[in-house]
Amino acid sequence: MRLISRIAAVLIGIAVVAFAIANRAPVEVSLDPFPFAFETPLYVVAVGALVVGLGAGAAAAWFHGRKARSLARARKTRVAVLEHQLARLGERESKQSSAPLPTSADAAASKTSRQHS
């Protein structure tokens, strides 16, 4: 997958460079309501529009995913709390199970002592 991404990036880069070489002619860019105009190569306008569009799309996608990221953070915190509780319970269980269990000889001795009492 990484190889395919790199090949695609190289091909897109070649296409952008070819576009820039073919469209070096200056064009006048004016922001109509403002008395501001400048000349720049056509490829700068086209690539600039692509960059602005990609940035706006990325910002919209990031903004749209905020709820999922928040939910993931909350779940990650909850999992950490539950793992900590599970570890404490495991430690408590291991301490209780480390006490020696009564053997059959102890049980027989206890039974005999109860009968004599």
For residue 116, the tally of other CB atoms under 10 A from its CB is 5
Does the reported pTM lie above 0.75? no
Return the domain boundaries, the chain: 1-55
Tokens of 66: 């905020």
pLDDT per residue over 80-109, tens digit each? Answer: 999 999 999 988 888 887 666 566 666 666
pLDDT per residue over 2-56, tens digit each? Answer: 999 999 999 999 998 999 899 999 999 888 888 889 999 999 999 999 999 999 9
Which spans in the chain are helix H?
A: 2-22, 42-64, 66-97, 104-116
Contacts for 39 with CB less than 8 Å, ≥ 6 apart: 26, 27, 28, 29
**β-sheet bridge partners, residue 28:** 39
